[in-house]
């Protein structure tokens, strides 16, 4: 739920409570006010009665449904106004119903005589007051709620625009991007602070990442020279006479290990180069030709492994990329398809305007297919391969904004490249 909408709901709940309490208070005030008015009215009637009697009129001529006068013993003292609520017949005689009435009862001495006077008046019923207050409060609440929800919607688009821009920028943020985070200027302090912090953070992250990358690039580069020295020494050692089988075995193991290491560091530095966008000589490339020549290049290896290859290449599929990078990509995919094949297996290559699909026979993966494109993750842990081929392929796809998908269907490994721009 949107923040502003959520806040609105909270606000509405609070308003509801306030309206409830307010309603009770209004009801109470109303009721008291009405009572006060009624009481005053009753008193004024008493006074006018008193006046009339003092002027010589008979008090009993005033008796009606809501006024009763009785003469009482003269010894009884005058009393203060005593108000009480009571039920009496409805003032309209045709409605035979008891209605709540306000009663003023008092004992007065008028012209040497003592009377007990009781005056009644219909009062406004409390449920009438209640329903009136309730209705008006509810309507107010509904209007307020509607206005709040609508305005929160409108505000969230306007007020939160810088925030949404920031969100989008973070979503599109790439660690290896050189460009700074692009954020919208805002006058809201919170968003300003957020943007400031984000900018500083991403700047620092990018700088750290760059220096880390530089380090790994330098390390893999610097490693090559000592490796070359060691490799050379072993080659020289090999030339010496009187080496027996045991010596050769030892020499062989260390030679292989060094060879493996040097291949690994070469692949790693290639990976870093791709990440650093060092292959940026983008031009139009005829992918059909590239794939065709790769098939030709691998012909011999295919024959030696007795792998049958079939292909279906659309003509003149053009993509925009760096030729070296594409060469590496295609080579890696072919190598992969050959390496993880079975004897007398097959490879099929399909190239269309939208995708390149290479599938090969092979045993199912033992490890998870989601690890397939990760560095040093290899299904075959024998150590013969380096486990960077597909990581490099994936990285090249990322740089070129291709989609690379792996599936295993009908006992075949399928790798599909989808060109977005095509």
Partner 1 sequence: MKILIVEDNIELSRNIRSYLEKEGSICETAFSYNQAIDKIISFKYDVIILDLMLPDGNGLDVLKALKDESSEAGILIASAKNSLEDKLEGLDLGADDYITKPFHLSELNARIKAIYRRKNFNNKKLLECNEIKIDTDACEVSVSGNSLELTKKEYELLVYFISNQNRVVTKQSIAEHLWGDHADFYDSFDFVYQHIKNLRKKIILEGGGDYINTIYGMGYKFNTHTK
Positions 261 through 320 that interact with partner 1 (CB under 8 A): 262-263, 266, 269, 297-298, 300-301, 304-305
Q: Does 382 bind partner 1 (CB under 8 A)?
A: yes
Q: Which residue has the tokens 């095509």?
A: 422
Q: In whole angstroms, what is the distance from residue 332 CA to residue 126 CA? A: 88
Burial of 69 per CB tally in 10 Å (0-12, 13-18, 19+): buried
Q: In whole angstroms, what is the distance from residue 221 CA to residue 269 CA? A: 7
Task: Dump the DSSP string for 125-149.
Answer: -HHHHHHHHHHHHHHHHHHHHHHHH
Nearest Cα to Cα of residue 279 among 197, 190, 397, 182:
397
Q: How far apart are the first and last CA of the chain?
A: 38
Tell me which of 83, 153, 160, 255 binds partner 1, using CB under 8 A. 255
Q: In whole angstroms, what is the distance from residue 238 CA to residue 251 CA? A: 8
Tell me which of 18, 82, 175, 238 binds partner 1, using CB under 8 A. 238
Positions 310 through 349 that interact with partner 1 (CB under 8 A): 324, 331, 335, 338-339
Judged by CB under 8 A, the stretch of 41-49, 162-170, 235-243, 394-402 that binds partner 1 is: 235-243
Per rule CB under 8 A, count of chain residues that contact partner 1: 41
Q: Which residue has the tokens 């599929």?
A: 317
**Binding letters toward partner 1, positions 50-89, x by CB under 8 A:** ----------------------------------------
Burial of 351 per CB tally in 10 Å (0-12, 13-18, 19+): buried
Q: Does 219 bind partner 1 (CB under 8 A)?
A: no
**Binding letters toward partner 1, positions 353-372, x by CB under 8 A:** --------------------
Judged by CB under 8 A, the stretch of 99-107, 191-199, 245-253, 408-416 that binds partner 1 is: 245-253
Nearest Cα to Cα of residue 338 among 355, 365, 358:
358
- Contact positions toward partner 1, by CB under 8 A? 221, 224-225, 227-229, 231-233, 235-236, 238-239, 245, 248-249, 251-252, 255-256, 259, 262-263, 266, 269, 297-298, 300-301, 304-305, 324, 331, 335, 338-339, 382, 384-386, 389
């Amino acid at each position: 739920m949107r923040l502003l909408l959520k806040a609105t709901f909270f606000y509405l709940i609070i308003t509801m409570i306030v309206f409830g309490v307010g309603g009770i208070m209004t009801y109470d005030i109303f009721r008291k006010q009405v009572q006060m008015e009624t009481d005053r009215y009753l008193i004024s009637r008493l006074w006018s009665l008193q006046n009339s009697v003092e002027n010589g009129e008979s008090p009993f001529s005033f008796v009606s449904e809501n006024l009763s006068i009785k003469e009482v013993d003269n010894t009884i003292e005058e009393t203060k106004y005593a108000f009480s609520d009571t039920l009496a017949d409805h003032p309209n005689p045709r409605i035979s119903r008891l209605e709540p009435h306000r009663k003023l009862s008092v004992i007065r001495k008028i012209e040497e005589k003592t009377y007990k006077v009781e005056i009644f008046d219909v009062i406004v019923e409390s449920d009438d007051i209640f329903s009136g207050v309730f209705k008006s409060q509810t309507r107010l609440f509904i209007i307020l709620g509607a206005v709040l929800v609508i305005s929160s919607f409108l505000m969230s688009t306007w007020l939160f625009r810088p925030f949404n821009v920031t969100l989008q920028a973070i979503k599109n943020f790439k660690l290896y991007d050189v460009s700074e985070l692009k954020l919208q200027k805002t006058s809201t302090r919170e968003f300003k602070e957020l943007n400031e912090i984000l900018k500083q953070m991403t700047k620092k992250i990018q700088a750290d990442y760059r220096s880390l990358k530089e380090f790994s690039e330098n390390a893999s580069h610097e490693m090559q020279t000592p490796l070359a020295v060691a490799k050379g020494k072993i080659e020289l050692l090999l030339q010496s006479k009187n080496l027996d089988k045991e010596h050769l075995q030892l020499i062989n193991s260390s030679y292989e290990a060094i060879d493996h290491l040097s291949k690994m560091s070469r692949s790693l530095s290639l990976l870093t180069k791709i990440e650093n966008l060092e292959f940026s000589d983008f031009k139009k490339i005829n992918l059909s030709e590239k794939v065709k020549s790769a098939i030709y290049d691998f012909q011999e290896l295919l024959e030696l492994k007795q792998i049958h290859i079939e292909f279906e290449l659309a003509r003149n599929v053009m993509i925009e990329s760096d030729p070296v990078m594409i060469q590496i990509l295609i080579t890696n995919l072919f190598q992969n398809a050959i390496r993880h094949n079975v004897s007398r297996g097959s490879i099929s290559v399909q190239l269309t305007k939208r995708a390149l699909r290479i599938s090969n026979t092979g045993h199912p993966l033992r490890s998870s297919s989601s690890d397939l494109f990760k560095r040093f993750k290899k299904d075959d842990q024998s150590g013969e391969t380096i486990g960077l081929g597909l990581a490099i392929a994936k990285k090249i796809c990322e740089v070129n904004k291709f989609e690379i998908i792996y599936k295993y269907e009908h006992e075949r490994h399928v790798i599909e490249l989808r060109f977005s721009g095509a």
